[in-house]
């Protein structure tokens, strides 16, 4: 089964460990880069760590978590080659893969989701990129890295 890289800040330790367990039970090999304690760390550092690890090439996707998921997803999206979604629910997480071909999915440890975050993650892992016109749009997203 595939490899997944996962990192979080202190605002999402419990959810991170839940998702590590869930992915592991599904057969993924999860490289959890931390953190596992409530000691404060800076989410941009955790995003950079996970994205650089992902870019080594042996991972299917990455998971990032902070208190809201906002700071860590913004950080990841600043890194060349990374497309990170912060889905509200399982519909959005499935579409993030089907249409946006994201390579990272983010969650907020302090967010009250309307669905179990494991279900939201399942919708992501069960989906695949649909290509075609969506590839053109993803190419346009990536071209923005060099134009703006
Ligand atoms: C940390 O307190 C918090 O700001 C962080 O986890 C995240 O919510 C930022 O977007």
Domain ranges (residues) in the chain: 3-146
- The angle, 0 to 180 degrees and rounded to 10, between the axes of the packed helices 117-125 and 13-25 is 50
Answering whether pTM is above 0.95, one says yes
Q: Max Cα separation, the chain? A: 45
Alpha carbon distance 141, 148 (integer Å): 11
> Does residue 82 sit in helix, strand or coil?
coil
Choosing from 43, 75, 84 the residue with most ligand 1 atoms within 8 A of its CB, the one to mutate for a pocket test is 43
Q: Are 32 and 74 in contact (CB under 8 A)?
A: no
Q: Of 97, 90, 91, which Cα lies nearest the Cα of 118?
A: 90
- Measured from the CA of 71, which atom of ligand 1 is nearest? 10
Band of pLDDT at residue 145, cut at 50, 70 and 90: very high
Ligand 1, atom 7: closest residue by C-alpha: 67
SS3 content of the chain, % helix, strand, coil (to 5): 45, 15, 40
Q: What is the pLDDT of residue 40?
A: 98
- Helices then strands (H, E): number in the chain? 6, 5
Q: Where in the chain does DSSP place strands (E)?
A: 3-8, 29-32, 61-66, 84-85, 104-108
Tens of pLDDT, residues 114-142:
999 999 999 999 999 999 999 999 999 99
Tens of pLDDT, residues 35-55:
999 999 999 999 999 999 999
Matching residue, tokens 């042996």: 58
List the structure tokens of 64: 């990032």
State which fold the 3-146 domain adopts.
Ribose 5-phosphate Isomerase B; Chain: A, (3.40.1400)
Choosing from 7, 34, 71 the residue with most ligand 1 atoms within 8 A of its CB, the one to mutate for a pocket test is 71
């Amino acid at each position: 089964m595939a490899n997944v890289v996962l990192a979080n800040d202190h605002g999402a330790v419990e959810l991170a460990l839940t998702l590590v367990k869930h992915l592991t039970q599904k057969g993924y090999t999860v490289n959890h880069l931390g953190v596992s304690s409530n000691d404060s760390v800076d989410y941009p550092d955790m995003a950079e760590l996970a994205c650089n690890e992902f870019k080594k090439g042996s991972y299917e996707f990455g998971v990032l978590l902070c208190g809201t998921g906002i700071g860590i997803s913004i950080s990841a999206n600043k890194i060349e080659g990374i497309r990170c979604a912060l889905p509200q629910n399982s519909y959005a997480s499935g579409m993030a893969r089907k249409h946006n071909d994201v390579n990272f999915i983010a969650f907020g440890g302090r967010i009250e989701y309307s669905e179990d975050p494991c279900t939201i993650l399942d919708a992501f892992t069960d989906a695949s990129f649909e290509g075609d016109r969506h590839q053109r749009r993803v190419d346009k997203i990536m071209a923005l890295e060099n134009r703006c």
